[in-house]
Amino acid sequence: MRYWWVNQNQTYRHEVAGGYLWSPKRKSNGGVNPFYESMREVAPGDIILSFADTRIAAIGIARSHCYECPKPPEFGSAGMNWDAVGRKVEVKFTELGNRIRPAEHMKILGPRLPKKYSPLLSDGRGSQSVYLAEIPVVMFAALRALIGYEARQTLGVAESWNDLDTAADTPLRDVFT
């Protein structure tokens, strides 16, 4: 199982309500975008945190590998420069009531950000150039703890939960005391 972060400001309401992620295959200039390429690495069962409007707004579980798919018509004018065909991953999303704001928790999250391709800037704002990025298990564990019970209930009680806490460089119980 892998953990992903998706920045969805333009497409959040369509993707979460529709149960999918969609990205173009290439940048508008034809170049490769590592955050679009990440779509090809998502597998069923992977966990996806949805970031929109400065908050983690939903948690999703991937239901498919990516496949080629036309740009969703519901996007309307969003991504006007995107190609007509891109990549899609089916996702079962659950919107959160406790929408944490990462910028308010950078003391905890900062040391756990990915070294390469971080979806967040050091001040906790979402990186504008990032769509989908893998996050380390220690970052997911910290976010799960910050979201609290709702995250555990949404994702269910899996055997891997205990593994997440022990995988962190600093045990989460030490971070919050």
Q: In CATH, which superfamily holds the domain spanning 3-175?
A: ph1033 like domains (3.10.590.10)
d(CA 33, CA 37): 6
Report pLDDT for 162: 40
Confidence tier at 156 by pLDDT (50, 70, 90): low
- Mean residue pLDDT of the chain comes to 83
The position carrying tokens 């490769």 is: 32
Confidence tier at 101 by pLDDT (50, 70, 90): very high
Phi, psi of 133 (to 5 degrees): -135, 140
Domain segments of the chain: what residues? Answer: 3-175
- Determine the residue type at 13: R
pLDDT in tens, 17-70: 999 999 999 877 778 878 889 999 999 999 999 999 999 999 999 999 999 999
User: Of 61-65, 117-121, 143-147, where does mean pLDDT reach its minimum?
Assistant: 117-121
Q: Which residue has the higher pLDDT, 155 or 75?
A: 75
